[in-house]
Structure 1
């Protein structure tokens, strides 16, 4: 297993941040990493979707958990394994919110994620968190 991710403290209203982060089909409108994201049903556990990030291969995913206003998880199949991505937010004080993403890779592609995708994603997450903050401020 290989785990990586990042977090950032942003400013805003946690309900608005959650609204932006749980509207996955609109990710390409504000997240500089996203090219395409679509769900084949409601934003709820068991719903499948498709996601494509810039510079990375796209693929299917399934929402496996949702804690409204707090966290959601998506899982994607990998050859011989899977990728699990947790998206979280936690109001901390005075309009500040800790947002985070945690990636867990299982299977034979761990080395590829450790040497290439993990670094690339970690570098891009700061931009994603900043864009999330800006989009929530506009709503």
Structure 2
């Protein structure tokens, strides 16, 4: 198994961050690693979506868990390995919200694939989370 976690704190509330996350079609507006997203239904467990990184082929994923204002989990199943990313919101005791992204690569090929694929997937997490919280904080100020 390969794993990585990154977290940031924001003054934005969990509902403000959730509003950004659950509006999948706007992901390219704040996530530079997403050129396009197509989703086959509601932001709910079992829904499949395709996320296209800039200049690359679309990656097919499935929403495994969705708990509004708390977390969602997406899964990319490549057969001999599975990439699971949990996007979690936690109350920050100092106020605001802690946003956590955790990725795990499991399966028979995880030991071989994980050390190369994992860092490629997660390298932009600091920038993505920073952009996410900026977007959530800005949208909250507008309300």
TM range (shorter): 0.7 to 0.9
- Gapped regions of structure 1 (runs ≥ 5): none
Task: Give distance in 1, aligned partners of 2:112 and 2:49.
Answer: 26
Give 4+ residue runs of structure 1 displaced > 6 Å after superposition. Answer: none
Indicate yes or no: 2:7 matched with 1:3.
no
Q: Would the aligned equivalents of 2:105 and 2:118 in 1 still touch at CA under 8 Å?
A: no
Task: Give distance in 2, aligned partners of 1:57 and 1:110.
Answer: 24
Match of 2:52 in 1: 52
What's the RMSD between the two structures over aligned residues? Answer: 1.9
Task: Give distance in 1, aligned partners of 2:49 and 2:119.
Answer: 25
C-alpha displacement of 1:120: 3.1
Q: Would the aligned equivalents of 1:79 and 1:109 in 2 still touch at CA under 8 Å?
A: no
Q: Would the aligned equivalents of 1:78 and 1:109 in 2 still touch at CA under 8 Å?
A: no
1:81-135: CA deviations, max 9, x gaps?
Answer: 3211111111213543111111111231542331x33223333111101111111
After TM superposition, list the pairs within 5 Å mapping 1:95-106 onto structure 2. 95-106=95-106
Task: Give distance in 1, aligned partners of 2:112 and 2:47.
Answer: 29
1:11-40: CA deviations, max 9, x gaps?
Answer: 212211111012222111111111122210
Match of 2:114 in 1: 113
Greater strand proportion: 1
Match of 1:126 in 2: 126
SS at match of 1:18: helix
